[in-house]
């Protein structure tokens, strides 16, 4: 588990807290850059769009959903492995989870927030978006719970709440460690954050139980969230979207892209926060194997989807299929197949699976593929619906492209802030993986 020998308990505290308490100029430059990019690429175009209308984006009559929605799915998907993986591995007691779960959960939280931002960017009148919350409004009207979008609202708020609680509760003992290691304002803040945690057996006991329940709740929740997101599409009758397979397809794709995202984040943590001691080959290897499995499932579902479209044999489905496979966006489709179905097979080789750099490249390619997949779903089905006369075409505008780029900067900004506020590796759980000290040792 530890590539560089086992650290002592005190070392764990020191190493992890150092990433929070010691901040070099590099960090500030990086943070400034990501915030700047987020401001210029995301918020400024969005502000412009708020003034002129959603027409600033490239969507049109034939494709009223565009990259905003496909990005929304992408970010929701990316959120999936964090909490889900963490919870599953917690329940199944997999020790290799412990070094990586905190950052994975953070990824969940921040990609969910980014996804929620895309909802705001997507809707036509964001200033009335609160009408879709289940709270009484001035019209005396409640939202329509029959709408798949309402499922989304419910699922995503629940997911956001549960994930925040999950990550927060897991961090309480670590907040106490920060409190003990710091002075002044920070100490006061972390006193509050840590709830006065002492680490008594009773506290541990309660936290352990509560945490397990959180995990038990989060697993079906996470599965439901992406199923529900898929139903936004599948509950329509649009050819190319109206597929039974969509829920598992989306869940699988979500976990797939999320797991790849974890690899990317792990690489960065290891590289920039010097966690080589804690994040080792075993993690990479396990994630690599998981990715292979997921890519095979993903490929299978994809084939199934094509098959059912073809086998159905209706003009609707065939036309949508044709547009997807050989239409304008066919290059993107085949790029997605290459990145998500074939490239991951390289990981069958242990040499590749054990190489941090190669795994980084593969994980990024997978996520590019998954980003494309979501775009393909949105951009190739709507313009090929039922009435051929209304067949159309959609191409994103520069505003959409800029906002897409900006969203990555937002995610990065949130993550950079996170690593300074929360220990990005769980201190106490890493200690659990260490062999206990014995007097005779």
Partner 1 sequence: MAVIGAFAYEEDFLAAAENLKASGFDNISLLSPLPLEEAQEVLGLGKSPVRRFSLAGAILGGICGFAMAAGTALVFILPTGGRTIITLPPFLVITYEMTILFGVLFTLLGFHFVSGLPAWRDKPYLPSANIDHFVVVVEGAAGEQVARAEAIIRDAGADEIRHVEEDQ
Partner 2 sequence: MSTFVEKLRSYRKPGYYDEFDYHWTMTIDLDRCTGCEACVVACQAENNLPIVGEERFAQSREIKWIRIERYWEGEYPNVKMGFIPMLCQQCDDAPCETACPVYATYHNQDGLNTQIYNRCIGTRTCAVYCPYEVRYFNWFTYTWDEPLEQQLNPDVSVREKGVMEKCTFCIQRIRIAKDNAKDDDERRVRDGEVVPACVQSCPTEAMVFGNSKDPGSKVSKMMKNPRGYKVLEELNTSPSIVYLTKAHS
Partner 3 sequence: MSKISRRDLLQYIGAGGVGAVGGVLYGESVQRNVELLIPQVVPPDDYSPGVASWYNTVCNQCSAGCGISVRIREGKAKKIEGNPVHPVSQGRTCARGQAGLNALYNPDRIRTPLQNAGQRGSGSFEEISWGDALATVGSRLGRLKIENNASRVRLLTGRVRGRLDELFAQFMGLLGSDHYQQYDFTYPSALMAANKTSYGTDVLPYYDIKNATFVLSFGADYLGTWISPVHHSLAYGHLRHGQEGRRGKTVQIEPRMSLTGASADEWIPARPGTEGLLALGIAHALVSDGRYQGSDRDEWSTALAAFSPARVSAETEVSDDKISQLAREFGASAASLAIAGGAAAAGTNAVASVVAVNALNHIAGNLGKPGGVIFNSEQAFSSAAASRPAGHQGVLDLTEAMEAGDVEVLLVHDANPVYALPENVRFQQALQNVPLIVALSSFPDETTEMADLILPTNTYLESWGDDVPDPGVGFPVASISQPVVAPLYDTLSAGDIVLSLARQIGGELPIRMRWGTMEEFIRDRWREEYNKRESAGEAQEFEAFWQASLEAGVWGQPGADSGGNSVPSTSSTIASIANPVSMFAGGESDYPLVLHPYLTATFLDGRGANLPWLQELPDPMTSVVYGSWAELNPATAAEMGIKDGDVLEISSPTGTVRVPALTFPAIRPDVVAMPIGQGHKGYGRYAGDRGANPIHVVANQIDTQSGELAWAATRVKIKRTGEKLQIIKTDGVTRTLGRQILAPKNDHG
d(CA 238, CA 203): 52
> Interaction with partner 3 in 366-385: which residues (CB under 8 A)?
383
Q: Would you call 60 helix, strand, or coil by DSSP?
A: strand
Interacting positions 96-115 with partner 2 (CB under 8 A): none
Q: In this structure, what token pair is assigned to residue 352? A: 């590749």
Closest approach, Cβ 318 to partner 2, in A, equals: 15
Establish if 115 lies at the interface with partner 1 (CB under 8 A).
no
Return the number of the residue (39 or 143) whose C-beta is nearest partner 2.
Answer: 143
Q: Which of 391, 401, 421, 434 binds partner 3 (CB under 8 A)?
A: 391
CB 64 within 8 A of CB 72: no
H/E stretch holding 234 reads: helix 201-234
Return the sign of the alpha-carbon dihedral for residues 157, 158, 159, 161. positive
Q: Residue 300 interacts with partner 2 (CB under 8 A)?
A: no
Taking CB under 8 A as the criterion, the residue among 212, 315, 349, 420 binding partner 3 is 315
The piece of 46-54, 336-344, 350-358, 408-416 that touches partner 2 (CB under 8 A) is 46-54
- By CB under 8 A, the count of residues binding partner 3 is 12
Alpha helix ranges (H) inside 313-436: 315-326, 330-337, 350-353, 356-381, 398-421, 427-433
407, 118 Cβ separation under 8 angstroms: yes
Among 94, 137, 206, 349, binds partner 1 (CB under 8 A): 206
Contact of 279 with 270, CB cutoff 8 Å: yes
Buried b (16+ CB within 10 A) or exposed e, 131-163: ebeeeeeeeeeebeeeeebbbbbbbbeebbebb
Nearer to partner 3, 326 or 390 (CB): 390
Partner touching 214 among partner 1, partner 3, partner 2, none, CB below 5 to 8 Å by kind:
partner 1
- Cβ contact 30:308 at 8 Å: no
232 binds, among partner 1, partner 3, partner 2, none (CB under 5 to 8 A by kind): partner 2
Measured distance CA(431)–CA(8) in Å, rounded: 8
Select the residue interacting with partner 3 from 316, 356, 395, 421 (CB under 8 A).
316
Handedness of CA 26, 31, 37, 40 (dihedral sign): negative
CB 239, min distance to partner 3, A: 11
∠ at Cα 389 (384, 392), nearest 5°? Answer: 45
Q: Which of 206, 274, 280 is nearest to 433 (CA)?
A: 280
Closest to 108 in 3D by CA, of 167, 38, 157, 158: 167
Identified binder of partner 3 from the candidate list 386, 398, 420, 432, rule CB under 8 A: 386
- Calculate the alpha carbon distances from 365 to 256, 352, 371 in Å: 12, 14, 10
Going residue by residue from 381 to 420, which x/- string records binding to partner 1, judged by CB under 8 A? ----------------------------------------
Asked if 95 is part of the footprint of partner 1 (rule: CB under 8 A), the reply reads no
| HSE-CB of 32 using CA atoms within 13 angstroms | 6
Q: Is the CB of 33 or the CB of 132 nearer to partner 1?
A: 132
By CB under 8 A, residue 286 contacts partner 3: no
Window 364-383: contact mask with partner 2 (x via CB under 8 A): ------------------x-
Q: Which residue has the tokens 């900004």?
A: 413
Residue among 1, 2, 9, 39 that touches partner 1 (CB under 8 A): 9
Residue in 33, 62, 281, 308 binding partner 3, rule: CB under 8 A: 62
Q: Which residues pair with 60 in a beta bridge?
A: 63
Q: Which residues in this chain contact partner 1 in the complex, by CB under 8 A?
A: 8-10, 13, 134, 140-148, 150-151, 154-155, 157-158, 161-162, 165, 169, 172-173, 176-177, 180-181, 192, 195-210, 213-214, 217-218, 220-221, 224, 228, 427-429, 431-432, 436-439
Binding site for partner 2 (CB under 8 A): 52-55, 58-62, 64-65, 122-126, 128-129, 131-132, 139, 141, 143-144, 146-150, 153, 232, 235-238, 382, 385-390, 392-393
């Amino acid at each position: 588990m530890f590539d560089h020998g086992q650290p002592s308990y005190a070392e764990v505290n020191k190493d992890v807290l150092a990433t929070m308490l010691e901040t070099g100029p590099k960090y500030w430059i990086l943070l400034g850059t990501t915030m700047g990019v987020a401001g210029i690429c995301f918020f400024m175009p969005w502000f412009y769009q708020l003034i002129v209308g959603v027409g600033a984006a490239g969507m049109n009559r034939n494709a009223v959903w565009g990259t905003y929605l496909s990005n929304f799915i992408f970010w929701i998907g990316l959120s999936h492995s964090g909490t889900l993986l963490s919870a599953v591995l917690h329940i199944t007691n997999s020790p290799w989870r412990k070094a990586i779960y905190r950052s994975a959960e953070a990824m969940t939280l921040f990609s969910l927030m980014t996804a929620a931002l895309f909802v705001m960017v997507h809707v036509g009148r964001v200033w009335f978006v609160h009408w879709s919350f289940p709270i009484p409004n001035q019209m005396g009207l409640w939202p329509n719970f029959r709408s798949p979008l309402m499922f989304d609202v419910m699922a995503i708020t629940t997911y956001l709440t549960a994930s925040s609680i999950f990550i927060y509760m897991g961090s309480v003992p670590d907040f106490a460690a920060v409190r003990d290691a710091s002075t002044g304002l920070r100490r006061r803040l972390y006193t509050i954050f840590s709830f006065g945690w002492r680490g008594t057996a009773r506290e541990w006991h309660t936290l352990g139980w509560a945490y397990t329940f959180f995990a038990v709740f989060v697993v079906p929740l996470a599965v439901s969230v992406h199923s529900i997101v898929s139903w936004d599409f599948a509950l329509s009758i649009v050819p190319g979207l109206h597929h039974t397979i969509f829920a598992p397809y989306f869940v699988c794709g979500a976990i797939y892209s999320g797991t790849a995202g974890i690899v990317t984040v792990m690489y960065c943590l290891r590289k920039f926060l010097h966690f080589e001691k804690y994040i080792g080959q075993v993690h990479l290897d396990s994630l690599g194997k998981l990715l292979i499995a997921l890519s095979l499932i993903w490929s299978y579902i994809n084939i199934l989807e094509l098959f059912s479209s073809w086998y159905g044999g209706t003009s609707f489905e065939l036309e949508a299929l044709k547009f997807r496979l050989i239409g304008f966006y066919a290059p993107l489709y085949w790029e997605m197949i290459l990145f998500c179905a074939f490239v991951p097979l390289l990981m069958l080789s242990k040499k590749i699976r054990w190489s941090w750099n190669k795994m980084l490249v593969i994980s990024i390619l997978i996520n590019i593929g998954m980003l494309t997949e979501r775009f393909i779903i949105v951009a190739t089905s709507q313009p090929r619906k039922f009435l051929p006369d209304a067949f159309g075409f959609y191409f994103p505008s520069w505003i959409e492209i800029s906002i897409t780029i900006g969203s990555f900067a937002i995610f990065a900004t949130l993550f950079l802030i996170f690593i300074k506020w929360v220990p990005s590796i769980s201190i106490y759980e890493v200690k659990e993986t260490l062999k206990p000290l014995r007097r005779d040792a």
